[in-house]
């Protein structure tokens, strides 16, 4: 009898171990399709692009040479790429705060409405649903320097009091109104404007969703504690409660801002804007890798792009883990 | 039972025969806004003449650059079309990489090839290393388009022959309240207008595999452009916007390829349109680059039937009635003697605007490609350089020339 006793737990652990191994195997089998897909569709291309960024591969060639970090050196020394970073940063730094701010603002306003909420939501959300490329073509017509709607509308202001109070108007009337898409002073701002116009509706919807999770009681409590003004209530209750939403919205908007491409490709299929003033990263990748077949340089920009987006995502993770959650 | 079986067998073979009889070939071309109408006009006649060939049109290329790239990508991924239309300056790279097939074996089989109107001067545009690799489909030259109503309003009666006269016209028009006198097509594909100014001085932009941007002729070309842009106060318009402005009657004159003539005439507002020869620098141009595209055989199929069908299609669109449609629907010239002299004999009398480019044919020179894998990147460098002149970003042409020479040298093979 005593001889059997110790063997019992052994058998049991064996059985348990066997069971666990089986479960583990089943788990692997079940995740295998997803894993394989992830490797094939996501990881492998990234690794290949990473490797190609150290070569001078050109599409259609049978071979390539390793060129070390020469592609990356080019990125940090050439004037063209300096313009690329400048354009990308200008776009991101402008579009992210403005479209997050507008998104929050409209969400709060819509939330305070009793009636017509749905109508306003739809109006602001429409540009998000429209394809940016198609919208870009519509904008191109509107921004046409002489027969476009924008300049035609501005011309109607000529001869009115606007000319006295607005120097831009006076200049435009005296000479001519800007060639919006052909002038390096305006091009990037036009792109930013369209980016904001197109993107803030999405942020608004996210904030509206965030607002529904703010408990009414918190406002009552804050009011009892002396937060009388709307601003105080916003500062003490709404804004902290929206913390997780804001982190998400900012990250998403940042990544989307880095990805801007459609408008630029539609407006300036060649060259990335007047004097490369709107030569953003995505367009640079497209131009080098796809239009000019220079896969090496294209991959190097892609890797850099990936690094930026990765960095943003990591910041987001870090913020989320630091518990911006209001609990 | 037996009869039923044999009937079925018969039916099967019959369908097999029918299926075998129809050969499908795939085809792609650039610039849908110019050529859609041309192919639409050609198709009924082709269908009638060759009912067993089914031509499948692929998505059009946005530009010549896009066309070349698409083909290069398709060569890597193995789904090349059977016939493709390529810019005359982009044929070289496809020949070098072995994607475009030599047409010599097919030409050898033709008995009256010369009689069909193919002649050496035109074929030379697509001849590489003694072998014909493409059949030119449409050839264009740069011309001036003039809105005669606006010109008369400004008191200009005669068309200019030199750029100085053009600048003079700009100034008169400006003084007479025409805001937007000119659009000069610097942003046309493949640095075509830069090459036009170079050829005007009888200088090739590529000589012995070296880009001649450092030559005095290149500097003269750039200075000429600067003069035109600044003295005429030319707006930096995107070319599609410029063409629509011109069609709407807002711009006095545009310098562009004759190819757009069909499209401009179709969308033209109420004004008298005239074309005139491309002005020269101080004197009439000594040469002008041939624009346009050529049909190339890129079929990867081993099936002789498919190849034969592709050759039939190639020949159809570049000769006879097919080629004549090019002149009728666009501003291009069909590079085919028979089409030009027989079918289109009265056509040019009735369409004097399309005659302008034909008159300039003796000036025809090669539209040159830049050497090496970076050919497209070099095109972009020159484009960016000229853009800096247009936007006024570069004021000193010598300095700009130096910048461009350095950037191009960096992109040259072994550079």
pLDDT of residue A52: 92
User: What residues in B contact A145, CB-CB < 8 Å?
Assistant: 235, 237, 241, 245
A11 compared with A149, residue with greater pLDDT: A149
Question: How far, in Å, are A164, A186, A312, B155 from residue A169 at the CA level?
Answer: 8, 15, 41, 31
Nearest-Cα residue of chain A relative to residue B250: A146
CB atoms within 10 A of CB A212: 8
A236: burial class by Cβ within 10 Å (0-12, 13-18, 19+)?
middle
**Alpha-carbon torsion (A198, A203, A205, A206), positive or negative:** positive
User: What residues in B contact A287, CB-CB < 8 Å?
Assistant: 380
pLDDT in tens, A38-47: 999 999 999 9
pLDDT of residue B405: 93
User: What residues in A contact B388, CB-CB < 8 Å?
Assistant: 275
With pLDDT > 90 as the criterion, what percentage of chain B qualifies? Answer: 49
Give yes or no for residue B275 having a pLDDT over 50.
Answer: yes
pLDDT of residue B7: 57
Q: Which residues contact B405 (CB under 8 A, 6 or more apart)?
A: B213, B214
pLDDT of residue A317: 83
pLDDT in tens, B156-208: 888 999 999 999 999 998 888 888 899 999 999 889 999 999 999 999 999 98
Task: Let me know: does B258 contact B143? Beta carbons within 8 Å.
Answer: yes
pLDDT of residue B20: 57
CA A270/CA B66 separation, integer angstroms: 11
Choose the closest CB to A60 out of B63, B76, B179.
B76
Two tokens at B259? 């190819």
pLDDT in tens, A246-303: 888 998 899 889 989 989 988 888 878 888 899 999 999 998 888 888 889 999 999 9
| Count of domains for chain A | 1
Nearest CA of chain A to the CA of B221: how many Å? Answer: 20
Choose the closest CB to B244 out of A59, A147, A274.
A147
Report CB contact under 8 Å: A274, B66. no
Tell me whether residue A133 is in a domain.
yes
Chain pair A-B, CB pairs under 8 angstroms: 87
User: What residues in A contact B415, CB-CB < 8 Å?
Assistant: none
Give yes or no for residue A184 having a pLDDT over 50.
Answer: yes
Choose the closest CB to A183 out of B75, B99, B236.
B236
Q: Which of A226-235, B213-222, B305-314 has the lowest mean pLDDT?
A: A226-235
pLDDT in tens, B67-123: 998 998 899 889 999 999 999 999 988 998 889 999 999 988 888 777 777 877 778
Report CB contact under 8 Å: B387, A176. no
Q: How confident is the model at residue B124 (pLDDT cuts 50, 70, 90)?
A: confident
Tracing tokens 């870009």 back to the chain, one arrives at A136
| Most confident option among A163-172, A202-211, A232-241 | A202-211
Interface test with B, best of A62, A84, A133, A291 (most B CBs within 10 A): A291
3-state helix, strand and coil shares in percent for chain A, rounded to the nearest 5: 75, 0, 25
CA B38/CA B17 separation, integer angstroms: 33
Beta strand B206-207 with B134-140 is unpaired
DSSP state string for A264-324: HHHH-TTTSSGGGTT--HHHHHIIIIIIS-BHHHHHHHHHHHHHHHHHHHHHHHHHHHTT-
**Mean per-residue pLDDT of chain B:** 88
CB atoms within 10 A of CB B304: 8
Tracing tokens 């059949």 back to the chain, one arrives at B135
Nearest-Cα residue of chain A relative to residue B94: A60
Give yes or no for residue A142 having a pLDDT over 80.
Answer: yes
Q: Collapse the DSSP code of B263 into the 3-class scheme (helix H, G, I; strand E, B; otherwise coil) and give the result.
A: helix
pLDDT in tens, B35-60: 999 999 999 999 999 999 999 999 99
CA B276/CA A269 separation, integer angstroms: 29
User: What residues in A contact B80, CB-CB < 8 Å?
Assistant: none
Give yes or no for residue A152 having a pLDDT over 50.
Answer: yes
Task: Let me know: does B396 contact B388? Beta carbons within 8 Å.
Answer: no
Tell me whether residue A260 is in a domain.
yes
Q: In terms of Cα–Cα distance, which of B79, B137, B287, B115 is closest to B197?
A: B287
B4: burial class by Cβ within 10 Å (0-12, 13-18, 19+)?
exposed
Task: Enumerate chain A positions whose Cβ falls within 8 A of a Cβ in B.
Answer: 58-61, 80, 140, 144-147, 176, 179, 181-184, 267-271, 274-276, 287-288, 290-294
User: What residues in A contact B178, CB-CB < 8 Å?
Assistant: none
Interface test with A, best of B70, B380, B407 (most A CBs within 10 A): B380
Give yes or no for residue B1 having a pLDDT over 70.
Answer: no
DSSP state for residue A186 in the 8-state scheme: T
pLDDT in tens, A60-113: 677 788 888 888 988 888 888 999 999 999 999 999 999 999 999 999 999 888
Q: In terms of Cα–Cα distance, which of A205, A143, A154 is closest to A176?
A: A154
Tell me whether residue A6 is in a domain.
no
Angle at which helix B375-390 crosses helix B64-77, to 10 degrees, equals 160
Nearest CA of chain B to the CA of A165: how many Å? Answer: 25
Report the residue count for chain B.
415
Q: How confident is the model at residue A327 (pLDDT cuts 50, 70, 90)?
A: very low
Give yes or no for residue B263 having a pLDDT over 60.
Answer: yes
CA A278/CA B379 separation, integer angstroms: 19
Question: Can you give the residue range of the structural domain that contains A242?
Answer: 77-143+180-324
pLDDT of residue A45: 93
CA B261/CA B259 separation, integer angstroms: 5
CB atoms within 10 A of CB B72: 21
**Mean per-residue pLDDT of chain A:** 85
CA B228/CA B216 separation, integer angstroms: 18
Report CB contact under 8 Å: A140, B241. yes
In this prediction the ipTM stands at: 0.74
Report CB contact under 8 Å: A146, B248. yes
Interface test with B, best of A275, A287, A294, A295 (most B CBs within 10 A): A275
Give yes or no for residue A36 having a pLDDT over 90.
Answer: yes
Tell me whether residue A167 is in a domain.
no
pLDDT of residue A12: 63
Q: How confident is the model at residue A8 (pLDDT cuts 50, 70, 90)?
A: low
A30 compared with B176, residue with greater pLDDT: A30
Report CB contact under 8 Å: B237, A176. no
pLDDT in tens, A304-326: 999 988 888 888 888 877 765 54
Q: Collapse the DSSP code of B390 into the 3-class scheme (helix H, G, I; strand E, B; otherwise coil) and give the result.
A: helix
Nearest CA of chain B to the CA of A274: how many Å? Answer: 7
> A18 φ, ψ to 5°?
-60, -40
Nearest CA of chain B to the CA of A198: how many Å? Answer: 23
Q: How confident is the model at residue B9 (pLDDT cuts 50, 70, 90)?
A: low
Report CB contact under 8 Å: B391, A184. yes
Report CB contact under 8 Å: A271, B97. no
CA dihedral B157, B162, B166, B169 (to 10 degrees): -40
CATH number for position A115: 1.10.3720.10
Report CB contact under 8 Å: A59, B73. yes
Report CB contact under 8 Å: B387, A144. no
**Alpha-carbon torsion (A244, A246, A251, A252), positive or negative:** positive
Mean pLDDT computed over A213-217: 83
pLDDT in tens, B340-351: 777 788 888 888
Angle at which helix B320-329 crosses helix B32-49, to 10 degrees, equals 150
- Buried b / exposed e along A135-165 (16+ C-beta atoms within 10 A): bbeebbeebbbbebebbeebeebeeeeebee
Beta bridge partners of B131: B128
Give yes or no for residue A4 having a pLDDT over 60.
Answer: no
B15 compared with B402, residue with greater pLDDT: B402
Give yes or no for residue B14 having a pLDDT over 70.
Answer: no
Choose the closest CB to A182 out of B236, B248, B388.
B236
Mean pLDDT computed over A217-222: 84
Nearest-Cα residue of chain A relative to residue B187: A270
Tell me whether residue A159 is in a domain.
no
User: What residues in A contact B395, CB-CB < 8 Å?
Assistant: none
Tell me whether residue A35 is in a domain.
no
pLDDT of residue B415: 46
Report CB contact under 8 Å: B238, A146. no
Choose the closest CB to B387 out of A267, A275, A290.
A275
Give yes or no for residue B210 having a pLDDT over 80.
Answer: yes
Q: In terms of Cα–Cα distance, which of B39, B91, B63, B122 is closest to B358?
A: B122
Task: Let me know: does B275 contact B140? Beta carbons within 8 Å.
Answer: no
Q: How confident is the model at residue A10 (pLDDT cuts 50, 70, 90)?
A: low
Q: How confident is the model at residue B231 (pLDDT cuts 50, 70, 90)?
A: very high
**Alpha-carbon torsion (B205, B211, B217, B223), positive or negative:** positive
Tell me whether residue A216 is in a domain.
yes
Two tokens at B288? 């002008």
Choose the closest CB to B75 out of A60, A276, A292.
A60
Tracing tokens 């041309």 back to the chain, one arrives at B38
Nearest-Cα residue of chain B relative to residue A289: B69
Tell me whether residue A164 is in a domain.
no
Two tokens at B324? 């004549």
Interface test with A, best of B232, B377, B388 (most A CBs within 10 A): B377
Q: How confident is the model at residue A1 (pLDDT cuts 50, 70, 90)?
A: very low
pLDDT of residue B398: 93
Report CB contact under 8 Å: B66, A291. yes
Task: Let me know: does A272 contact A81? Beta carbons within 8 Å.
Answer: no
């Amino acid at each position: 009898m005593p001889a059997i006793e110790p063997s019992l737990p052994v058998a049991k652990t064996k059985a348990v171990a066997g069971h666990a191994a089986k479960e583990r195997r089943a788990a692997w089998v079940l995740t295998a399709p997803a894993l394989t897909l992830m490797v094939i569709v996501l990881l492998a291309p990234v690794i290949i692009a990473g490797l190609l960024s150290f070569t001078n591969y050109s599409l259609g060639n049978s071979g390539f040479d390793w060129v070390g970090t020469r592609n990356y050196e080019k990125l940090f020394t050439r004037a063209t790429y300096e313009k690329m970073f400048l354009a990308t940063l200008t776009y991101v730094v402008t579009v992210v705060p403005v479209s997050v701010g507008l998104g929050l603002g409209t969400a709060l306003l819509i939330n305070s409405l009793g009636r017509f909420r749905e109508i306003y939501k739809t109006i602001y959300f429409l540009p998000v649903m429209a394809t940016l490329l198609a919208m870009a073509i519509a904008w191109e017509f509107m921004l046409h320097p002489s027969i476009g709607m924008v300049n035609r509308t501005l011309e109607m202001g000529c001869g009115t009091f606007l000319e006295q109070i607005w120097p831009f108007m006076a200049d435009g009337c005296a000479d001519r109104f800007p060639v919006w898409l052909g002038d390096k002073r305006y091009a990037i701002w036009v792109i930013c404007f369209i980016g904001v116009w197109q993107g803030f509706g999405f942020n608004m919807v996210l904030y509206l969703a965030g607002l529904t999770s703010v408990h009414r009681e918190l406002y009552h409590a804050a009011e009892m504690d002396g937060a009388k003004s709307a601003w105080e209530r916003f500062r003490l209750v709404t804004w902290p409660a929206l913390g997780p939403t804001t982190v998400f919205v900012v990250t998403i908007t940042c990544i989307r801002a880095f990805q801007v491409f459609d408008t630029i490709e539609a407006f300036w299929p060649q060259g990335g804007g007047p004097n490369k003033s709107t030569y953003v990263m995505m367009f640079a990748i497209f131009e080098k890798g796809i239009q000019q077949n220079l896969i090496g340089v294209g991959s190097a920009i892609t890797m850099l792009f990936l690094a930026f987006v990765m960095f943003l995502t990591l910041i987001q993770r870090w913020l989320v883990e630091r518990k911006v959650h209001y609990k | 039972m037996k009869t039923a079986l044999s009937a079925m067998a018969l039916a099967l073979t019959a369908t097999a025969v029918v299926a075998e009889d129809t050969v499908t070939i795939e085809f792609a071309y650039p610039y849908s806004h110019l050529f859609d109408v041309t192919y639409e006009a050609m198709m009924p006649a082709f269908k009638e003449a060759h009912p067993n060939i089914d031509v499948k049109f692929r998505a059009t290329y946005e530009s010549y650059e896009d066309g070349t790239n698409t083909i290069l990508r398709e060569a890597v991924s193995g789904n090349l079309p059977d016939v493709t239309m390529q810019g005359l300056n982009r044929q070289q790279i496809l020949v070098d990489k072995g994607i475009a097939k030599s047409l010599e074996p097919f030409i050898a089989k033709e008995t009256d090839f010369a009689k069909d109107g193919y002649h050496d001067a035109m074929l030379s545009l697509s001849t590489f290393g003694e072998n014909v690799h493409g059949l030119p489909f449409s050839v264009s030259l740069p011309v001036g388009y003039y809105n005669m109503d606006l010109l008369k309003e400004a008191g200009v009666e005669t068309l200019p022959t030199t750029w100085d006269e053009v600048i003079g016209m700009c100034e008169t028009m400006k003084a007479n309240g025409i805001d937007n006198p000119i659009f000069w097509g610097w942003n046309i594909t493949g640095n075509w207008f830069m090459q036009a100014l170079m050829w005007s001085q009888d200088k090739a932009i590529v000589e012995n595999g070296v880009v001649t941007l450092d030559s005095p002729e290149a500097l003269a070309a750039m200075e000429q452009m600067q003069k035109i842009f600044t003295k005429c106060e030319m707006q930096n318009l995107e070319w599609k916007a410029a063409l629509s402005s011109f069609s709407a009657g807002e711009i006095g004159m545009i310098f562009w390829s004759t190819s757009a003539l069909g499209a401009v005439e179709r969308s033209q507002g109420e004004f008298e349109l005239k074309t005139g020869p491309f002005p020269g620098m101080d004197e009439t141009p000594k040469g002008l680059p041939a624009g346009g595209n050529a049909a190339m055989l890129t079929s990867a199929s081993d099936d002789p039937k498919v190849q034969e069908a592709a050759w039939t299609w190639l020949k159809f669109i570049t000769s006879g009635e097919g080629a004549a449609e090019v002149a009728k629907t666009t501003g291009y010239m069909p590079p085919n003697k028979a089409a030009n002299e027989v079918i289109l004999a009265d056509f040019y009398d009735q369409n004097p605007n399309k005659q302008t480019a034909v008159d300039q044919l003796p000036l025809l020179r090669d539209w040159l490609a830049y050497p090496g894998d970076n050919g497209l990147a070099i095109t972009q460098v020159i484009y960016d350089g000229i853009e800096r002149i247009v936007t006024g970003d570069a004021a000193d042409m010598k300095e700009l020339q130096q910048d461009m020479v350095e950037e191009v040298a960096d992109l040259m093979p072994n550079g």
